Chain A
Amino acid sequence: MSALAVARLELRRLFVRPLGWVLGALTLGELAWRFVLLLGNFLAAQVRLAALPAGPGYTDLVAVPLLSSLFTGSLVPFGLTELALLVVPLLTMSSLAGERGNGTLPLLLASGQSPADIVLGKYLATLAWLVAWLALVLAMPLSLAHGTTLDWGKLAAATIGLVLVLALLAAIGLACSAFASHPAIAATAALVIALALCCVNLGAQAAGVDSGVIHWLALGTHLEPLLRGLVDTTDVLWFVLLTALALALAIRRLDADRERG
């Protein structure tokens, strides 16, 4: 119940601040433009695709690439995953670093909320915003579902993948906000960590290192199967583990705040 009270307060603050609205409007505009481009390419290639016995369809060429360009090999840049790398750190940067700077963090700690309640409440609020954002993006391909043959299973798996990515990025953003003294530092740290997770295997490959561990660490290793429609519990576990680790670090840092005063 305490976490819900914190979540409600955080959601209200997200709702009345312009940042969430501006980020939402700009990214939805970019994604709408991307959707139109992907749809145009699909329509232009439709005759050629019809000749292929098991060629890619609307889901493979429009719906899933809208969610990610990097991990689907799409030529049109900046899908939702790539935008999330920037949007989530901006959204979470003030969650705890801002409260600390504003002097309201001690007030939350003194209101009988445990550090876990505060972190979980803020996490739930951020996640609610991100899920609403994802739902609005998904509404674009779904709006044409009646006129096309949508692969519901593949889209559901991709959606699960995106929810897991957003959940992980939100947890990383919150952890960075818990450790940072200033929101800008939190946003930068969260962005760098997220980019590192995305590119760790690419960098290693470029350096001539092809380690299984580095490959396992990379976000793409676990997201790509989901975007292809393959739900593997080990991939889901990877996201859950990293998310739990980031949240645990945030809680621990807040507890240390109370200890240090």
Chain B
Amino acid sequence: MTTPPPLLQIDRLTRQRAGRMALQDLCLTVQRGDVLGLLGVNGAGKSTTLGMIAGAMRPDSGSIRLGGEDFLEHPELGRGRIGWLPERAPLWPELTVREHLQAHGRLRGLRGTALASACDAMLERLELVPMARRLAGVLSQGQRQRVGLACAMLHRPDLLILDEPANALDPVQVAALRQLIREEAARGAAVILSTHLLAEVTAVCGRVAILHEGRLRHDGPVDAADLPTLERQFFDIAMNGRSLAA
């Protein structure tokens, strides 16, 4: 029996932005059910990495394989298999919450009753039912974040990419978000979580990757009970630029 290919395989991904090397030779593999925390200081290359994995931008060189297939050659693979919540959850201010879900569902290939039931389920799951008819333009940042999350998860993607999902969420909502991430991983989806909050990583992630100045400096398992070790690793890399992977 042949081993199935990893869900996501990134090889030597390199990208320049605004004249500087935003990402250099990134190699990363993500399996189904993985929850990978992506850490790094501002400008470390986290959002660039996530944008390329999501298909919003292309690398200068390197490859991204999704389920063994070349994602850069076939970006349409991402339609049904990737869900992405960008930083600050961009929404169309003139559309209601439900209309956002419907639009994202259609863009991701959902139609008819499948779309309607997926929207209802997601509104319920993220406690958005009371604001389903509210315009996105009047939502608070925390509510926008939840709508963005609902849009990213609507089509039950194999790979969920979350860029700072806990931004502007209250502690109760953060706990609910952690539960959601665990549930997604339990059903077999892989989750990549970019965050500045180290506690967020120890709470939900099984693995952590630390980027610094566009390079991967650490990739290894994370112990849920050992926040101090992660802090030491992170600050060592962030302050001194030292690689613990070496």
Contacts and interface: CB of A to CB of B under 8 A. Distances in A.
B88 interface: yes
Interface in A101-157: 102-104, 106-114
B51 A9 contact: no
Given A9-B103, A114-B75, A17 B56 contact: no
A104 B106 contact: no
A12 B103 contact: yes
Interface string A1-30: 110011011001100110000000000000
Interface in A50-65: none
B169 interface: no
Given A13-B94, A103-B88, A261 B56 contact: yes
Contact of B90 (A102, A114, A258): A102
Contacts of A109: 55-57
A112 B86 contact: no
B91 interface: yes
A5 B56 contact: no
Interface stretch (B76-84, B119-127, B177-185): B76-84
Contacts of B88: 103
Contacts, number: 85
B48 interface: yes
Nearest to B104: A111
Interface string A91-103: 0000000000011
A3 B98 CA distance: 21
The DSSP consensus for interface residues of chain B is mixed
Contact of B107 (A12, A113, A260): A113
A106 B57 contact: yes
Contacts of A6: 107
A107 B52 CA distance: 12
Interface string B85-127: 0101011111100010001101111000000000000000000
B77 A112 contact: yes
The DSSP consensus for interface residues of chain A is helix
A108 B84 CA distance: 11
B58 A110 contact: no
Contacts of A114: 75-76
* Interface band, chain A: 20 to 34
Given A17-B94, A261-B56, A9 B79 contact: no
B159 to A, nearest CB: 12
A170 to B, nearest CB: 20
Nearest to A102: B90
A8 B106 contact: yes
Given A5-B106, A258-B56, A104 B51 contact: no
B99 A12 contact: yes
Contact of B86 (A12, A13, A107, A258): A107
B15 A261 contact: yes
B54 interface: yes
Which residue of A6, A17, A113 has the most chain B CB atoms within 10 A of its CB atom?
A: A113
A110 B55 contact: yes
B17 interface: yes
Given A107-B56, A110-B54, A112-B77, A9 B90 contact: no
A258 B58 contact: yes
A114 B91 CA distance: 20
Nearest to A112: B79
A151 B77 CA distance: 53
A112 B92 contact: no
A124 B196 CA distance: 42
Contacts of B75: 112, 114
B79 to A, nearest CB: 3
Contacts of B93: 102
A102 B92 contact: yes
Contacts of B84: 107, 110
A258 B57 contact: yes
B108 A111 contact: yes
Which are the 7 A-B pairs with shortest beta-carbon distances? A112-B79, A103-B90, A261-B57, A106-B56, A110-B56, A110-B54, A111-B107
Interface of A: 1-2, 5-6, 8-9, 12-13, 16-17, 102-104, 106-114, 258-261
Given A5-B103, A102-B92, A261-B17, 6 more contacts: A103-B86, A103-B88, A106-B51, A108-B107, A110-B82, A112-B77
13 contacts: A1-B109, A5-B106, A12-B95, A13-B92, A102-B93, A106-B86, A107-B90, A108-B107, A109-B55, A112-B75, A112-B78, A114-B76, A261-B17
